[in-house]
Every structure is written in C-alpha cells, then in structure tokens.
Structure 1
Amino acid sequence: MHRDTVASFPFIATGMEKGCRILAADIGGTRSRFACFDYAGGELGMGDVVRIPTAEATGFDDLLDRVRVAAPGAWARLTRQTDTGNDAPDTPDASVTAFAAFAVAGPVEEGARCLPPNIGWHIDLATTRGLPCAASLLNDFEAQGWACLLPGAQQCLQLLPGKPDATAPVAVVGAGTGLGKCLLLPGTPHRVLPSEGGHATFAFEGRAEAGYAAFAADRLGVGRLIGDDVLSGPGLSLLYAYHHGETLPPHEVAARLTGSDVVVEWFARFYGRTCRDWALHTLARGGVRIAGGVAASNPMLVQHGAFAEAFFDCPTHTHLLRTIPVSLVTNADAGLWGAAIFALLHAGARRTPR
C-alpha cells in the first residue's frame, strides 16, 4: 500500500479525523479507476487500483458491480464488514467511518448528479443501487486540483521554470478524452473551482490553422470547434488525419509520432496556447499543472519547443508568463488521490445518504 501524509490538513471532516476508509474513483470518458484508501494517524494509504474501460459498463450501477466483483475484499471493508478470508460470515466493524468520492468527467450538481458529455450514461446517486457507504460526486478536474495539495501524489516533470507565488492560484489543465480545467485557490482552507472551459470555443490563429479548423469542423459536423475537439485524444487523431491523410485511434497515432512530426509541433502549440490563456484568465502566479493522460503518456507533446513558444506568445504579458512555472503531472493516479483528499475535507458537507 502506498502511503502519504496528510497530517498538515487541519480541516479533516467531522467523523473522519480519527480514521476512515475511502472509496475513491476517477471516472473518465475512456477508462475508470477505483481504489480504496485508509486514513489513520495523519497518513493516507492507497490500496490496489482497479481499472475498467468506461465504455464496457452499461451504466453507473454496472460500473460499480464490476468494481465489486474485481475487489470483493475492499468492498466488504467499505460496508463496515471485516473480511474473514474464509467461508465464515463477515463481521461488522462499526468503529470505522467509510465514504465514497466519485470524480467524474462532467459538471456535477449538488454533489449527487452528473451528465458526463463523453460518457453514454448519467449518474444520480439518489437512484444508484448498492452504494457501499455514503457518497458524493465531484468533477474529475476538481480532484486533480485537490491532488496538488499532496506532494507525494504529484509526481511532476518541470516543463518551464518560474517563480511561483504560494499565495496565488494554481491553474490545472489537461487533455484526455476531453479537455479539463480547474483552479486551486490558496487559503485556510483551500478551495478548488471546477470548470467546463474545455467546452468553450477554441481560438485558432492564422491561415494555416484556419484550414485545419475547417477540415475538423467538417469531419465532426459542427459549426465551431471547442477545446474538447482540439486538445484531447480524439483531437490528436483528427490532427493526424489532417496532416497525414489517415484516420487512426489516439493510441496508434501516439505510437507513430516522433519529435519531428508536424502533428507534434501543432499539438504542442495548441497545448501551450491553452495553458497560456488559462494562466492569464486566472492570473495563476502559483503555477500551471498539466494533467490528463494524453501528455502524461506522450511527454513530447508538451516538451516540443512549440509549446513554450506559444505559452510565452503574448504582446503585453510575456514577462508575467515567464514567472509562472509549468509542470506535467506524470502520476496517472493523481485523480484518485485528489478524490480521497476531497473526501477527507468535505465528507460531512457534501454527501448523499445510503
């Protein structure tokens, strides 16, 4: 079990401070991750991670059923049962508080409902059957924001140096099945503001990019392109089709790319521009963190020189941008840690009864 300390957090939710068990989930458009955490003595420990292709589940209930089958022992512990490890009945363990925090890629209403734009089903905790304990939903990039508070959960690769201001916001942005964003606000306690900025219109520049925009809009059958269309796994496939005339799934595109490929240059430029604009929109002097599976699996997409060139391309605030450090989160399970931190801090305020 991987452990990290959270003893520095003075705002553990009531009922959780003496120890608890947490089911954390990071439910994305492509895959879903689940893990059980134990919190005791100021330390948070993560157990084995269960990974399930999201599209294989017919709904949220089915997804939970698959987790229950894949990890029956962990599920029993969440239901306050002590797994005896044999055929004898499990025994109650009422001394341990349990809570589930499900981070999902979409806007969340009242901590209980979500209609994810890139998943074929909705989530409503009020009608979900078989929840192992009290639970809450949060946006998947809100979880990435909370993960920024736990150094051990954030394995980062520095992309651009800077002089971070500890009293300023940290902007988080990342491409996966879609484009996610959030903002971590400093304070006592910290706050994380989720965003659906990935669904805002993407800003193309110049005649060459206008040609690509027309191609992509025609392929997708839309009148305008949003960030999700451009800076995402599907966006990478679309860009490859434009430059090379072949349509491939994102993982096959990634396997073919080299640092000299024009697709890498263009995608890096789009990524740098998006990070720059989010940093300026939020005045993120605390830094920019890049999360999401696309860059974590293919670092060249943010290490290419076109990324830095686009990030600093601002006629009025280049000096400001050079003070903002940019780093790449390489821990694929950061969202799980963030969901667990959310549970520790907010379980008493945002929960759906069983």
Structure 2
Amino acid sequence: MSTTRPDAPPVLVADIGGTNARAGLVTEPGHAPGTVFTRPTADFPGLAEFLQAAMAALSGEPRPMRVICAVASPLHEDTVRLTNAGWTFSISDTQRRLGLEALTLMNDWVAQGWAVTRLVEPQRLQRKGGKPAADAPRLAIGPGTGLGSALVTPCADHWQVFATEGGHISVGITSQREADLALRLHNRFGHCSAERVASGVGMEAVHDALREIDGHPPRSCSAETIAREAVAGDPLCREVLAQFTAALGSAAGDLALATGARGGIYVGGGIIPALGDAFDWNRFHARFTAKGRFQDYLAAIPVYAINHPAPALLGLSVYLEAQA
C-alpha cells in the first residue's frame, strides 16, 4: 500500500558512488524507481549540479521537493567530503540552492542494508550456506571503489539498519605471501585494512605492491584493467583478483562472527557483478569459513549475491516507507 497522497510530489532518491551517480523518483515508497538516471560521477563538480541534471531528466510536475541521497562518507557535520568522488559540499547550502523542503543524506551501505530487508529471488542469489535464521541479524557488504558494510537487525516487527566501518578491520593473513603483501601495504598506508585489498582502490594498491615484491618495474594499472587482464589470463592480475577474493571472504567471516549475522551475508557493490563468472565464490567461501572451531557455524550461514540493478535506490525507497 502506498504511504503517500496521490497528489504528493515524488521524492528524488540518489546514490552517489565513486564511479557512477544514479537517481530516480519514488512515487510509491517501498518500490524501486521505474526509471534511473545514471551518469559518471566525475561529470559533475558537486552534488547540486548532479541533482539539477537528474531533476531535469526525470521530473515533470509536481517537482520533487524532497531529496534523499546515499553517499560513501561519514555524516556527522553539515560539510560533507566525498573523497572517492572528489566532492565537498554543504548540505544546507545545497538544499537552499535547489529550493528543497528537505535534503537528507544517508550512508550508502545503510541504504544497501534497507534494500536487504526487501530482496527476494532473483534479486538475491544464494551462492553458499544453508537456511537463514529469521531472528538473527543480516550483514550487507560489498566492494566498489571502497569496501562498505552495514548491519541489518530485526527489532520487533520492523528492521533497524546501522552503518559500520567493517571495511577498515585489519586484513586476514594465512600465508607468507599474504604477510609480505600486508606489510608492504601497511608501510605505505599506515594500516593494512580489508579495504586496502578487497576494493577497487585496493586492487590497484595490491597490483603495485606485488610488482614491487617480485622485482618488477612500476606500472600504473586501473582496477578495470586489472580485472580485464585477470580474466584474459595475466598471472599477476589473476593473483591480484585471488588476493581480493580471499580478503573479502576473510573480512565477511570476521564480521559475521562479530555480529552473529546468521540471517545471511548479502554481497553487493559494483565490482562483483562486473566480474560475473570470473568471481570465485568457492575461494570466497573457503576464506569466509576458515575460522578454526567456528567453521561449521559460518558454513551454515547463507551467502547471497545481490542481483538488483540499483539496490541503494530501492533501499532509500524502503527507508521512506519505514519512516512513513
């Protein structure tokens, strides 16, 4: 059932990623937008310009007066810095500039977490594990430009979604090769987090570190190129992808243990759908469950691949429904 009046203006929802920015109109909270406006984030100098372009492309009458955006950033102050997008802006100034009644920002993985509460087959594809525990938390996690995560918890007859910084836990190490890699990344960045390996920027950093370890000259390489060359059979790029997959599985397992997420692990982000069949779910799951005495505990947890074209936009719509 719709929670908006028939004559109420639609709400513009937007998902601002490090690579792409998406927006759509919600006319019925709880349902994903029918049409999605997508552009490279780098095409715009800031949030206001992107929202203006999205409104021009999507809206007729009545004009949206409320906007809610999912962004990859801590949200504690009026000034927001989106490092991966290269944007810095004031929430209040942007709201005034666009003449909006309300401009709300939400952590991008909180939006993904709200989507998790609504996904059904085939919007989620079970890759591993058993049956979900209905009364247990769920974990949303995924690599894009960075590595994001959120905790989704049942609360009476509704859900609560909490932002986490799970991507910044220390990377797991199971071999000398991984230890050498982690030490190189630690020396370069001051801390070798899971995100330093299991993300787009992580793939690039791992590529650089492995070339240095193996005595090869430096060679700048984007995450997209690394993935493409890995699929084509390049040995070094294949190892980068293997390190990426192992680090992601290890981090997901650690977070599942820390949160009791027996309701399921939902893996999203932009990289895994782009990899398609080249992503090794067996390697991921082997590291996910490689936790000694708790291997069986983790093996029982279902692991899902998020298979929705715009999960953050769906999540923002579900959030609007929950607030109404």
Q: TM-score, normalised by structure 2?
A: 0.85
What displacement does 1:153 show?
9.2
2:257 paired residue among 280, 301, 319:
280
How many Å separate the matches in 1 of 2:21 and 2:119? Answer: 23
Amino acid in the other structure paired with 2:80 = C
Deviations 1:212-262 (A, max 9, x none): 1233345xx322222332211121223334446543111111212239733
Equivalent residue letter for 2:112: Q
The 1:17–1:172 alpha-carbon spacing in structure 2 relative to 1, beyond 3 Å, is: farther
8 A Cα contact 1:162 1:324, kept in partner: yes
Q: Tell me the amino acid that sits aligned with residue 193 of structure 1.
A: F
Aligned residue among 295, 304, 318 for 1:341: 318
Match of 2:229 in 1: 256
Q: What is the aligned-residue RMSD (CA, Å)?
A: 2.7
Query: 1:28 aligned to 2:17?
Result: yes
Equivalent residue for 1:67, pick from 54, 60, 82: 54
Aligned equivalents of 2:17, 2:172: Cα separation in 1: 25
Cα offsets for 1:77-106 (capped at 9, x unmatched): 3526xxxxxxxxxxxxxxxxx532111111
Which whole-Å CA distance do the structure 2 matches of 1:56 and 1:37 have between them? Answer: 24
Verify the 8 A CA contact 1:147 1:154 in the aligned structure 2: no
**Aligned residue number for residue 127 of structure 1:** 93
2:176 to 201, 207, 210: 207
Q: 1:332 is matched with which residue?
A: 309
Deviation at 1:152, TM superposition (A): 5.6
Q: How far apart, CA to CA, are the structure 1 residues paired with 2:6 and 2:304? A: 34
- SS of the residue aligned with 1:256? helix
C-alpha displacement at 1:320, in angstroms?
0.9
**What pairs up with 1:312-327 in 2 under 5 angstroms?**
312-327=289-304
Match of 1:168 in 2: 136
> Which structure is higher in helix share?
2
The answer as to whether partners of 1:154 and 1:330 remain within 8 angstroms in 2 is: yes
- Cα distance in 1 for residues equivalent to 2:76 and 2:312: 19
CA distance in 1, matches of 2:80, 2:23: 18
In the alignment, structure 1 segments of 5+ residues that lack a partner are: 1-6, 81-97, 348-354
SS in 1 for 2:127: strand
Worse-superposed segment, 252-261 or 101-110: 252-261
TM-score, structure 1 as length reference: 0.79
Give identity over the alignment, percent. 28
Shift of 1:116: 3.0
SS at 1:319 equivalent: helix
Q: Is 1:142–1:192's contact at 8 Å kept on the other side of the alignment?
A: yes
Classify the secondary structure of the residue corresponding to 1:64: helix
Quick one: which amino acid aligns to residue 248 of structure 1?
Answer: C
* Partners of 1:346 and 1:137 in 2: CA distance: 14
User: Structure 1, residues 294-325: CA drift from partner, whole Å, max 9, x if none?
Assistant: 11211456434321211111112112111100
Which stretch has the larger CA shift, 99-108 or 168-177? Answer: 99-108
